[in-house]
């Protein structure tokens, strides 16, 4: 067993880290995952190509994978896995654990942020069914970076998993062959509830899901316009998903509110319709009501409700999505003139 070869200081460090990680909450894991994605994708020359995200089947984000070793080493990390459904929509993040060992002349401790892009449905399904061993169940290779994946090598094109990492510490680079990825069902039940007692999705989980969806949508080619027809301004799929999630979250919030509060926090009717989005004035007016509650200590009981925070976060994101569509939703011109 690898742990038997570790010196006392390394074993104590692993045990201390494991204890700390076990006590950390799921929201903190998701928040760290969001930060890892934002930082990696903020540098155009180093970011994951959008077309890879658009065509992949899932993404795993594992912040702070710790590796401690002397002759023999061990790595462990907690993270999240987001997968697409059969319609191509992204699902909420589910919790995973990565565990692996290695042998060789190495010393010191290393923390690495890892992102794995799964290019096959089989590899994602293996994790959903229980576990996947990198290198044995699915080949992995370092992923290409930049604005597109055209420069991918032959090894990268054949790999089922493309890995991206940012390392800190004494080791240069990271090798994940032999590492085991497992679903952490207990963390998921604690965070989302179960079939008998489901809970509204926390805002942090919804936000990370939409972050990945928006990044993937950047890699989708625009549909060509029909000959002789004006070029349409597309309404992004992410906006439609945001609208659906906002409606669902608002309905969950209304279920715990008295009637007068339902009216005060009511969304614009156009949010519930299938037509154009509401005007920005209407959306911002509702957002002001939410922000007043969120900033007033007198309403601490309400703003502490996950249904309220999720709805507020989705409302903010939806306003941002509507603003980015390229068409400004406006009321009729003054005097009704066309």
Domain boundaries, the chain: 2-190, 235-334
Q: Whole-model pTM? A: 0.61
Between 332 and 31, the more confident residue is 31
Q: How confident is the model at residue 241 (pLDDT cuts 50, 70, 90)?
A: confident
* Rounded-to-integer distance, Cα 176 and Cα 139, Å: 10
Residue 157 CB neighbours (<10 A): 12
The model's pLDDT over 194-212, given as tens digits with 9 standing for 90+, comes to: 777 777 778 888 889 888 9
Looking at residues 320-332, what average pLDDT do you find?
A: 65
The model's pLDDT over 105-151, given as tens digits with 9 standing for 90+, comes to: 445 556 778 899 999 898 898 898 878 888 778 888 877 776 555 55
The β-bridge partners of 43 are: none
pLDDT at residue number 234 = 44
Q: How confident is the model at residue 299 (pLDDT cuts 50, 70, 90)?
A: very high
Ranges of H-type helices in 178-305:
185-192, 203-217, 237-254, 259-264, 280-295, 300-303
Q: Quick check: 101 and 72 in contact, CB under 8 A?
A: yes
pLDDT at residue number 69 = 60
pLDDT at residue number 233 = 44
Name the average pLDDT for the chain.
Answer: 76
pLDDT at residue number 175 = 67
DSSP 224: P
Q: Which helix (H) or strand (E) holds 83?
A: strand 58-83
Q: Is the pLDDT of residue 336 over 60?
A: no
SS (H, E, C) 10-22: HHHHHHHHHHHHH
Angle at 40 between CA 39 and CA 44, to 5 degrees: 105
Looking at residues 157-178, what average pLDDT do you find?
A: 69
Looking at residues 52-69, what average pLDDT do you find?
A: 85
pLDDT at residue number 265 = 94
* Rounded-to-integer distance, Cα 53 and Cα 212, Å: 8
Q: How confident is the model at residue 289 (pLDDT cuts 50, 70, 90)?
A: very high
Q: How confident is the model at residue 17 (pLDDT cuts 50, 70, 90)?
A: very low
pLDDT at residue number 274 = 63
* Rounded-to-integer distance, Cα 16 and Cα 32, Å: 20
Q: Which residue has the tokens 């439609």?
A: 240
Q: Quick check: 145 and 97 in contact, CB under 8 A?
A: no
Q: Is the pLDDT of residue 10 over 50?
A: no
């Amino acid at each position: 067993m690898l742990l038997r070869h570790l010196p006392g200081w390394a074993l104590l460090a692993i045990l201390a880290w494991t204890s700390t990680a076990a006590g950390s909450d799921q929201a903190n894991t998701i928040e760290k995952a969001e930060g890892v994605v934002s930082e990696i994708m903020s540098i155009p020359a180093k970011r994951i190509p959008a077309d890879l995200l658009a065509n992949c089947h899932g993404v795993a984000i594992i912040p702070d994978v710790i590796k401690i070793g002397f002759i023999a080493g061990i790595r462990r990390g907690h993270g999240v896995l987001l997968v697409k459904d059969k319609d191509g929509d992204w699902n909420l993040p589910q919790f995973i654990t990565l565990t692996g060992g290695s042998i060789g002349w190495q010393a010191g401790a290393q923390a690495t942020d890892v992102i794995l892009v799964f290019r096959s449905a089989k590899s994602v399904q293996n994790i959903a069914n229980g576990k996947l061993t990198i290198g044995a169940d699915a080949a992995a290779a370092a992923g290409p970076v930049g604005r597109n994946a055209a420069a991918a090598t032959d090894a990268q094109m054949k790999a089922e998993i493309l890995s991206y990492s940012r390392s800190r510490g004494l080791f240069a680079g990271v090798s994940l062959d032999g590492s085991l990825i497992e679903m952490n069902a207990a963390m998921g039940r604690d965070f989302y509830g179960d079939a008998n007692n489901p809970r509204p999705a926390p805002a942090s989980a919804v936000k990370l899901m939409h972050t990945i969806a928006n990044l993937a949508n950047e890699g989708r080619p625009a549909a060509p316009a029909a000959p002789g027809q004006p070029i349409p301004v597309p309404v992004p799929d992410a906006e439609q998903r945001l609208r659906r999630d906002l409606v669902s979250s608002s309905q969950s919030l209304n279920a715990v509110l008295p009637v007068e509060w339902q009216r005060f926090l009511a969304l614009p009717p156009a949010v519930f319709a299938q037509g154009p989005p509401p005007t920005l004035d209407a959306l911002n007016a509702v957002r002001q009501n939410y922000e007043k509650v969120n900033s007033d200590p007198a309403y601490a009981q309400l703003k502490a409700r996950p249904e309220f925070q999720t709805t507020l976060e989705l409302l903010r994101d939806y306003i941002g999505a509507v603003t980015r569509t390229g068409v400004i939703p406006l009321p009729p011109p003054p005097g009704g003139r066309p």
